[in-house]
Amino acid sequence: MPSLQEMLSSANDEVPKVTAEEAHELISGRDALLLDVRDAPELAQQGKLKGAVNVSRGMLEFRADPNCSYHDPEFRKDRPVVLYCASGGRSALAGKTLRDMGYAEVYNLGSFKDAAQSGFPSELQ
């Protein structure tokens, strides 16, 4: 069984990182799904990036699978997905999960704080 460090390394190799500017271009130009994989208490305390859909990492597979009763229609395999979390680790792992589920275009924006500080608008929950 791989270690967390090995899993993160593999996820970072497979899921490209994007800047806040590149994320904006994907969202505005290609209707990318902006996905916050943090847990509810984090959102309540810090807010989220404007327009982001929140699905905690623990519910990701259920929301992303179109054959599941918990499927969120925002998830479409023909739509790019840009993920973020608190530091970039959960979003990398979640991105790899989406890739494994057949989502072809998945990107890691990294941390909420870095994106917000670089000018990405945020909103309170």
One digit per residue, the tens of pLDDT, for the chain of length 125 reads 899 999 999 999 999 999 999 999 999 999 999 999 999 999 999 999 999 999 999 999 999 999 999 999 999 999 999 999 999 999 999 999 999 999 999 999 999 999 999 989 998 76
The pLDDT, as a whole number, for residue 19 is 95
The pLDDT, as a whole number, for residue 124 is 79
Backbone angles phi, psi at 102, to 5 degrees: 100, 5
The pLDDT, as a whole number, for residue 125 is 60
This prediction's pTM: 0.94
The pLDDT, as a whole number, for residue 25 is 96
Q: Assess contact for 82 and 34: CB atoms under 8 A.
A: yes
CATH 3.40.50.880 fits 4-119, yes or no: no
The pLDDT, as a whole number, for residue 71 is 97
Q: Assess contact for 47 and 125: CB atoms under 8 A.
A: yes
How far apart are alpha carbons 23 and 27 in whole angstroms? 6
